[in-house]
Amino acid sequence: MAEERNQRRLAAILAADVVGYSKLMGLDESGTLSAFKAHRHELVDAKIAEHQGRIVKLTGDGLLVEFPSVVNAVACAADIQHKMRERNADVPADRRIEFRIGINLGDIIIDDDDIFGDGVNIAARIESIARPGGVAVSGSVRDSLGNRLALTFEDTGEQTLKNIERPVRVYNVNLFPDAPFLQPVGVESVANEKPSIAVLPFNNMSGDPEQEYFSDGITEDVITELSRFHSLLVIARHSSFAFKGQAIEVKEFGRKMGARYVVEGSVRKSGNRIRVTSQLVDAVTGSHVWAERYDRDLLDLFGIQDELASAVASTVGGRVEAAWRERAVRLSPSALKAYDLVLRARAFVMKFTRSDTEEARMLTRHAIEIDPTSSQAHAYYAYCCFVTQMAHWSEDRDRLRNEAIEFAKRAVTLDDADNNARWILGMVHNARGEYEEARFHLEKAVQNNPNDTEARGYYAYFLHTVGQPEAAIEQFELSKRQNPYDFTWFPWGKGWAYFTARRYGDAIASLKSIPEPINEVRGILAASYAYAGRLAEAKAMLEEFLRVAEDDMAAFPGRRLKDWDEFWRGAAWYQHQEDHDHLMDGLGKAGLLERRTKHGQMPRRNGQVS
């Protein structure tokens, strides 16, 4: 009896599931379930029967189907995807249901009505890497199909599939050669959303084939480190290594990989020295965005490998994000979608001016209206609210302060893997005097992506506010080593940490290096000059601070020291009263009237800043 039940045969297996099903259910459970059932009963089941398929099992949002031939399986999949495209044409993006389909031809085991074996497993793994709204097939399917269907195929190379012993060659079926894929909810378009990046295998220039492992290791580690950047779409390792050893132009490689940016480089080992060169290329224009050379002593080979990969990834990640922000600023408003709006907003808010921050706040608000599920839009709206209230650019500071924490929390709820959302929430907690909550989120952001220099910078700033300025300086210096093209506010944060550490000469050098400082920098610089005994410079800088503040602030506090207490509590975020006193005394030395004393302190409200 067991022999009758357990049979083996060659079969074409189709695996399919809905892209972003959990997110769709979270948005509209009943509507999603109803739409899915309608697609199943009106289209999918009928097409499977038409092409002589047998539904083996249903898996909630997916299904497994057996066909007597690859022609039947591929024709059925193509029909379903073409019809689904038509059915989705008028459906809003956040309500659209699309399938991924994978097909394999292989040996299967039949047990009662179920099927098992590698033939089934490979189909399921191919489905997981298929394009949304598309069909991917194994090499065995492509070979068996030949030219029996009027379809073309894109060879993606050999793919390493989870729990499958040997690599499998996979082909994408070109279902819509003259039109782009519709993008499902939760899946970013390569052209319009996340900047995409691929890494060409680094060349081994050592003249020793045995050193190939090291250049391959650098390549793999760079890909891994880049993948930590949630804002980048990084092409997987197996796709990159399909081109290893091939002479291919960067632009052609980028086109084949669907990548806007390409990282290429070389590794040369000579004696006890190793040199890694790397460059970032815009694959569309062929122009070089960045290039760098790293020279190291060959003491700890694998430690160097990790260090170099991290350095390349940190710098490249920052440069790609900067280039993408510049691209967003050049686009016309009508062409911008939610993510582009966020990028445009980031470009504005990083200027730290009143008008630019307000423009950024409006852009992020619009992005939320377009895509209420965007974590990035919520996070940067919170950031804009925070900056505006902190700088006293609005009289409605209580509302902005509440919105900052509300939208930052919402951003993390929408996507708890979004590192930008995580450090923004930590920063807002820090400013509110909620130091344990701030520590939790900022440390988590750094742990999630140690190469995210912006997250590390805000973690460094947090350390200085809780009385650890030397540790903060170490973190700022690590950020600088990771990414020499640091964010413009880093010298401000580092300079403030120097001031808190009572290293006034270093504070002055760091703060003076900022070409267009925010006004708080002028205040800290005035206090630093005063403590350094450079009173004439201190008074001149304080006057400049007061002049800008009077023009910029919604309500100018005046020229008395005690009237600036609330402002500096909201700007400095110090946990310890002695650090706040140190700052206020420095401003008094610089020339603000009525230097405060420890007997005339203004109390905190529940340990929080205003």
Two tokens, residue 162: 């989870």
CA distance 460 to 429: 15
- State CA 42 to chain mean position distance: 39
What pLDDT is attached to residue 599?
Answer: 40
What are residue 291's DSSP bridge partners?
279
Q: Residue 532: what pLDDT?
A: 96
CA distances in angstroms from 104 to 73, 120, 131, 600, listed in the order given = 9, 7, 16, 78
Positive or negative, the CA dihedral 364, 367, 369, 373 is negative
Query: Helix, strand, coil % (nearest 5) of the chain?
Result: 55, 15, 30
DSSP state of 335: G
CA distances to 67, 134, 170, 484 from 152, rounded to whole Å, are: 21, 13, 13, 46
pLDDT at 5: 47
Per-domain residue ranges for the chain? Answer: 2-173, 196-329, 488-610
Q: What is the pLDDT of residue 472?
A: 93
Mean residue pLDDT of the chain comes to 81
What's the pLDDT tens digit per position in 188-218? Answer: 333 335 677 888 888 888 777 767 777 877 7
Pick the CATH number of 196-329 from 3.20.19.10, 3.40.50.10610, 1.10.3720.10, 3.30.300.10: 3.40.50.10610
Phi/psi of residue 62, each to 5°?
Answer: -140, 180
Strand-strand pairing, 7-18 and 62-67: antiparallel
d(CA 393, CA 388): 5
Region of 117 (left: φ > 0; alpha: ψ -120 to 50; beta: rest) is: left
Chain centre to alpha carbon of residue 573: 27
Of the candidates 341, 342, 413, the residue with the CA atom closest to the CA atom of residue 383: 342
Q: What is the pLDDT of residue 504?
A: 96
Tell me the pLDDT tens digit for each residue of 222-278.
877 776 676 677 776 666 777 787 878 888 888 777 778 888 888 887 777 888 888
Ranges of residues in the chain whose predicted pLDDT is under 70: 1-6, 177-194, 210, 227-228, 230-231, 236-239, 298-336, 451, 481-489, 594-610
Closest-CA residue to 132 (of 192, 71, 176): 176
Task: Say what the pLDDT of residue 604 is.
Answer: 40
Choose the CATH number for 488-610 among 3.10.620, 1.10.287, 1.25.40, 1.10.10.
1.25.40
Question: Does CATH place domain 2-173 in 3.30.70.1230?
Answer: yes
- Identify the DSSP state of 130: S
CB 408 within 8 A of CB 421: yes
What's at 218, amino acid-wise? I
- β-pair type (196-199, 233-234): parallel
How does DSSP assign 494-533, residue by residue? HHHHHHHTT-HHHHHHHHHT-SS--HHHHHHHHHHHHHTT
Among 110, 184, 183, 172, which Cα is nearest to 141's? 172
**Cα 345 to the chain's mean position, in Å?**
16
pTM of this prediction?
0.52
If one counts every other C-beta atom within 10 angstroms of the C-beta of residue 61, the result is 19
Asked if domains 2-173 and 196-329 share a fold, the reply is no
Q: Are the C-beta atoms of residues 436 and 465 closer than 8 Å to each other?
A: no
Q: Which string of b and e fits 339-369 if b means at least 16 CB within 10 Å?
A: bbbbbbbbbbbeebbbebbbbbbebbbbbbe
Dist CA 231 CA 195 (whole Å): 7
DSSP secondary structure code for residue 209 in this structure: G
- Grouping H, G, I as helix, E, B as strand and the rest as coil, residue 604 is coil
